Homo-oligomer: A and B are copies of this chain.
Amino acid sequence: MTRRITLGAGQLGPISKDESRAAVVERLIALLHQAHHAGVDLLAFPELALTTFFPRWYTEDLCGHDHYYEKEMPNAATQPLFDEALRLKIGFSLGYAELTPDGHRYNTTILVERDGSIVGRYRKVHIPGHEEDEALRPFQHLERRYFEESSEGFNVHRCFDGIVGMATCNDRRWPETYREMGLQGVEVILIGYNTPIFYAPDPGQNALAGFHNQLVMQAGAYQNGTWVIGVAKGGIEEGVESLAQSSIIAPSGQVVAQAVSNGDELVSVIADLDWCANYKETLFNFARYRRPEAYQRISNQKGVMLP
Q: How far is the CA of A201 from the CA of B220 in the complex (A)?
A: 21
For residues 86 through 141 of chain A, which have their beta carbon under 8 Å from a beta carbon of chain B? 125-128
Of listed A218, A282, A291, residue having the most chain B CB within 10 A: A291
A205 within 8 A of B: yes
Copies in the complex: 2
Cβ of A222 under 8 Å from chain B? yes
A286 located at the interface, meaning its Cβ lies under 8 Å from any Cβ of chain B in the complex: yes
Q: Does the CB pair B306–A223 fall under 8 Å?
A: no
Q: How far is the CA of A278 from the CA of B154 in the complex (A)?
A: 28
Asked if residues B291 and A149 are in contact (CB atoms below 8 Å), the reply is yes
Binding site for B on A (CB under 8 A): 125-128, 149-151, 153-158, 163, 170, 173-176, 178-180, 182-185, 199, 201-202, 204-205, 208, 211-212, 215-216, 218-220, 222-223, 252-254, 278-284, 286-307
Determine whether the beta carbon of B302 is less than 8 Å from that of A174. Answer: no
Per the bound structure, the CA–CA distance linking A279 and B215 in Å amounts to 15
- A204 and B278 contact, Cβ closer than 8 Å, known pairs A185-B304, A301-B183: yes
Which residues from chain B contact A223 at a C-beta distance below 8 Å? 173-175, 216
Bound-complex Cα distance A128 to B156 (A): 28
B201 engages A282 (CB within 8 Å): yes
Cα A156 to Cα B291 with chains together (Å): 18
For A218, the chain B residues whose CB sits under 8 A away are: 215, 219
In Å, the complex CA distance between A294 and B128 comes to 15
- Pairs A–B under 8 Å by Cβ, sample size 9: A153-B296, A173-B223, A173-B284, A175-B179, A183-B304, A183-B305, A184-B297, A216-B223, A296-B299
Complex Cα gap A127–B301 (Å):
25
A202-B287 in contact (CB<8A): no
Q: CA A215 – CA B253 in complex, angstroms? A: 8
Q: Are A283 and B183 in contact (CB under 8 A)?
A: no
Q: Is the CB of B295 within 8 A of A176?
A: yes
Q: Are A185 and B307 in contact (CB under 8 A)?
A: yes
Q: Which residues of B contact A150 (CB under 8 A)?
A: 294
* Interface contacts beyond A125-B294, A184-B307, A199-B283: sample of 13 additional A-B pairs, CB < 8 Å, sorted by A: A126-B290, A126-B291, A127-B289, A155-B307, A175-B175, A175-B223, A176-B295, A199-B282, A202-B283, A212-B253, A218-B219, A286-B302, A290-B302
